[in-house]
Structure 1
Amino acid sequence: MSKCRVCEGEVRKFFDFGKQPLSDTFLTEQESGEAYHFRLAVGLCTRCTMVQLLEEVPRDRMFHHDYPYHSSGSRRMREHFAQTARDLLATELTGEDPFCVEIGSNDGVMLGVIKDAGVRHLGVEPSGGVAELARKDGVRVRTDFFEETTARLIAGEDGPADVIYAANTICHIPYLDSIFRGVDALLRPGGVFVFEDPYLGDIVERNTFDQIYDEHFFLFTARSVRGVAHRFGFELVDVHRLPVHGGEVRYTIARRGERAPSPAVPALIAEETSRGLAELGTLEKLGDGIDRICADLVALLRDLRGRGLSVAGYGATAKSATVTNYAGIGPDLLPCVYDTTPAKIGRLMPGSRIPIRSAEEFGRPYPDYAVLFAWNHTEEILAKEEEFAAQGGRWIVYVPEVRVL
């Protein structure tokens, strides 16, 4: 039996992807194929309803100096984080000498706007490469993992924070107990802890099963976040649905009794209850969709290759490792994947060892079909690569079902 990382209740498995590689480990052709693998299985806590992975990957294997993801890599995400910063400046960072701390600040895309407004700030980022990019832009960064000891050191050096913010980070962290104790040690009375992460409700509704990978240890709902907040003396006071990354929720948390919860909180929890998001049967149906999608995608690729048509992938995303490895898609079905991230180009997709090429080579020549792994940036990519469609190219998407655009 697996124990819940939040409440130590029983975690019931609802899907198992088997052995998977680390989703952001891009080896060269010359490097050994004996990469680190782990069991990617996901379950539901029968006590607190937290959805979580059954096996934890050591954090320093995922978040290290050469971590390749850049938050500013998408125009849409740059705009999203700039607006987030402006909202925080207008609502929470308005007092005398306000202080904002970001957990997992990556390349500083959000804190850069805070910095430009002249507001004290600090990013806490364990991956040295992206932290250095932020520093070059004048953002103040501490290269470290955020936990209780880190928070106490920051509080001693910089004083309390008015806002502690995180985006696509808290769901990565199995040790939520240390996170919340750290927030309690660092947060000013009346301050807020704000974080946004992929939403289980959207994953179930849209079959976006590839959101399940090593870095996403937790898949949150408003109900499970409210429960973990209460456990550490906090309260979920607001929720806001976000359209980015296939559907996220921004959670606002304050110390218990300091703020009245918004009506949006009970409304979203009631919706989750009506949809059965805390029921094992609902989540097991997600598993049925996973197997159907993977079988349909492999069948389509085999048919296209069998007819002599050229196919490629677009976007060497972390989540695409779940798809290619569980479905058994390798270079025979997908000879290459195009991507814009310099650190990935010339390397191989995790596990499947599909070569990664620069997106600048996408049209030299265009393939007949392209699998859109970066489906969360569909609008932006289709606008950028409109010449592909103009010359007869067809996009393949696989969520919520396999179809050709």
Structure 2
Amino acid sequence: MPVCRICGGTLSEFVDLGAQPMGNAFVSPQDPDDDAASFRFRLAVAMCEACTMVQLVDDVQHDQMFHQGYPYRSSGSSVMRAHFEALARRFLAQDLTGTDPFIVELGSNDGIMLHTIAKAGVRHLGVEPCGDVAEVGRANGIRVRSEFFDENLAADVLAQDGPADVIFAANTFSHIDFLDSILRGIKNLLAPDGVFVFEDPYFGDIVERASFDQIYDEHIFFFTARSVQDMAARFGLELVDVELLPVHGGELRCTLAHTGARPVSPAVTELLAEEAAQGLTEPATLSRFADAVRELGDSLVTLLRELRAQGKRVVGYGATAKSTTLLNYCGIGPDLVSFISDSTPEKQGRLTPGTHIPIRGPEAFADPYPDYALLLAWNHQEEILRKEAAFREAGGKWIHYVPDVRVE
């Protein structure tokens, strides 16, 4: 029986999204049945009855998910570029002010955050196991090691570069099943007054919005202030600050420090109280979430079938990893969504994992405009709606499904 990856406690499963492919296993039309395309695992989520950590019941080996051809590029969104530039400047102003400061980023992707750090002349290191995306960072002047971070790599970095004033991870920490080794490495690498800052999808937002497509193979853990506080304490660290972020559909930014090294912000106490008041980890809340997932999926499929019966043309917008969960759970294929428009060159010309919907470049979206567009990249909604204002002006309508199914 699976046990909690953090404390070894009993897991209580509350939602099962069925047999799913890997979220980013986009398929070549020439070889639609290759090993990566045919791989499936049971996408089920559980909560630990002891430490309340929400996590996948099963997971995929990390070297299957994060590999040489990993397609995601953080710099593809202007909103995320601005987000990470602002954070880098905050680090420079608040935490990287001493003599010869040093920052390490876990999962540095294409160097979007460290680019600002490097331009400021601050010592830095990106740890990015995905080879192709790491090369983009190097081409932009970022110092990168193409390895998985663990306690052994942390010891090597400490010996070569000394302690880190800041260790940062964005949409990375929740992706790693061996957090024990990661946290031991962070504990050893972190300077006495240093901070480990990470931001990942917030379970509270997922429950509130029924955004079940945030659940896919790469997201192994779903954090709350309560579960992070418990996890940190087990490794000699302390949760000293929290911040709710609007990016990526709702994220939690956590700041950890050595136990007793920094005062605990009132924001931590406030969020813990909010989570308790909401009953965020109560069985009844989790059961209502599972019900909402089923209702949302049924409503979306019903709408798409009605539009097909009316002869309407529907395309998708944004071939995201999260859309893999939605499309496969709902059984949405090219009969309901003719193709998906996406700006990532590495995805264009391929097929969606499991459902084999063609992916085309942005120019296909307006050639001609469809009757309806299913907004799969809903976490970038404001940016997309501004960019595609002409679609609405031409009479097109957007289909939304978070937090409910609606047409606008």
Q: What TM-score does the superposition give when structure 2 sets the normalisation length?
A: 0.98
SS of the residue aligned with 1:251?
strand
Corresponding residue of 2:14 = 14
* Map 1:333-348 → 2, pairs under 5 A: 333-348=336-351
* Alpha-carbon distance in structure 2 between the residues aligned to 1:128 and 1:339: 22
**Partner letter of residue 300 of structure 1?**
L
Q: Of 330, 335, 345, which aligns to 1:332?
A: 335
Alignment of 1:232-271 (within 5 A): 232-271=235-274
Match of 1:308 among 303, 307, 311: 311
List per-residue Cα deviations over 1:310-349 (Å, max 9, x = no partner): 1000000000011000001011111111100000000000
- One-letter code of the match for 2:22? L
Counterparts of 1:181-260 in structure 2 under 5 Å?
A: 181-260=184-263
Aligned to 1:158: 161
Q: Deviation of residue 222 (structure 1)?
A: 0.4
Could you say which residue in structure 2 is the equivalent of 1:133?
A: 136
Distance 1:173 1:52 in 2: 11
Asked whether 1:281 is paired with 2:284, we answer yes
Please give the secondary structure, in 2, of the residue aligned with 1:322: helix
Q: CA–CA distance in 2 between the matches of 1:381 and 1:145? A: 33
Q: CA deviation at 1:36?
A: 1.3
**Structure 1: runs of 5 or more not aligned:** none
1:323 aligns with 2:326: yes
User: Residues of 2 paired with 1:6 and 1:348: CA distance?
Assistant: 36
Matches of 2:70 and 2:219 in 1, distance apart?
15
TM-score, normalised with respect to structure 1: 0.99
Show the counterpart of 1:395.
Answer: 398
Secondary structure of 1:3 counterpart: coil
Secondary structure in 1 matching 2:315: strand
> Is 2:28 the partner of 1:28?
yes
Q: Which aligned segments of 4 or more residues in structure 1 are displaced greater than 6 angstroms?
A: none
Q: Structure 2: how far apart are the matches of 1:178 and 1:32?
A: 36
- Aligned partner of residue 404 in structure 2, secondary structure: coil
Residue 40 (structure 1) shift: 0.3
Residues 1:106 and 2:87 aligned together: no
Paired residue secondary structure (1:319)? helix
Superposed displacement of residue 10, structure 1:
0.3
Indicate the SS of the match to 2:46.
Answer: strand
User: What secondary structure sits across from 1:2 in the alignment?
Assistant: coil
Q: Which residue of 1 aligns with 2:127?
A: 124
Contact 1:2 / 1:12 at 8 angstroms: preserved in 2?
no
The two structures, once aligned, show a CA RMSD in angstroms of 0.7
The match for 1:149 is 152
- Deviation readout 1:130-152 (Å, 9 max, x if unpaired): 10000000000000001111111
- Structure 1 residue corresponding to 2:293, chosen from 282, 290, 294: 290
Are the counterparts in 2 of residues 162 and 187 from structure 1 also a CA contact under 8 Å?
A: yes
Query: Could you tell me the percent identity over the aligned residues?
Result: 59
Q: Which runs of 5+ in 2 are unaligned?
A: none
DSSP-derived class of the 2:395 partner: coil
